[in-house]
């Protein structure tokens, strides 16, 4: 089996995953977004986001522009957007934003998130997440082949 076949099979298997909680501190309720699918398996992209919750909260610049970009790209819903932007404190907006990301971003929308980071001047964070995803995928494929 060729690597591309493995990757395509993996993508089909992981598509539409759901996390109900991140680090146990976020709500276990599903978001109102229609993107949430109730499978218990996370995509590699969700794994990367979950593993980097604290890093994302401290590293993200203002999430206001990111929220607008991801709303326009239909990654987050109007309800999600309002929940993120209603907080007065920037740290709280970041926490809500990252919680939403870990639930809504999957294999199909991770690239949109990385593009949004690039558009908002957060190229280093985008590149860091891309590298982590690449390493994560290689490790999964090696483990799968073993």
What domain range is 90 assigned to? 43-145
Mind listing the pLDDT tens digit for each residue in 71-102?
999 999 999 999 999 988 999 999 999 999 99
pLDDT grade, residue 132 (50/70/90)?
Answer: confident
What's the number of domains the chain is made of?
1
Which residue is it, tokens 């992981």?
14
DSSP string, 9-27: HHHHHHTT---S-STTTS-
Is 7 within a domain? Answer: no
Is 10 within a domain? Answer: no
Whether 100 and 26 have beta carbons less than 8 Å apart is answered as no
pTM above 0.85, yes or no: no
Is 130 within a domain? Answer: yes
Question: At 54, which CATH number?
Answer: 1.10.533.10
Look over the chain and give the mean of its residue pLDDT values, rounded to a whole number: 76
Is 35 within a domain? Answer: no
Mind listing the pLDDT tens digit for each residue in 14-30?
333 333 334 343 343 43
Is 83 within a domain? Answer: yes
What is the rounded CA–CA span in Å between residue 137 and residue 100? 23
Is 90 within a domain? Answer: yes
Is 2 within a domain? Answer: no
Is 38 within a domain? Answer: no
pLDDT grade, residue 136 (50/70/90)?
Answer: low
Mind listing the pLDDT tens digit for each residue in 52-65?
999 999 999 989 99
């Amino acid at each position: 089996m060729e690597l591309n076949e493995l990757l395509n099979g993996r993508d089909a298997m992981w598509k539409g995953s759901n996390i109900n909680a991140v680090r146990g501190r976020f709500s276990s309720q599903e978001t109102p977004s229609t993107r949430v699918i109730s499978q218990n398996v996370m995509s590699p992209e969700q794994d990367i986001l979950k593993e980097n919750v604290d890093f994302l909260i401290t590293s993200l610049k203002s999430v206001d522009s990111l929220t607008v970009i991801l709303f326009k790209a239909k990654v987050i819903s109007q309800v999600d957007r309002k929940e993120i932007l209603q907080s007065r404190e920037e740290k709280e907006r970041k926490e809500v934003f990252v919680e939403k990301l870990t639930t809504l971003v999957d294999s199909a929308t991770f690239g949109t998130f990385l593009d949004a980071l690039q558009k908002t001047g957060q190229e280093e964070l985008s590149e860091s997440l891309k590298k982590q995803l690449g390493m994560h995928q290689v490790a999964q494929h090696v483990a799968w082949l073993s």
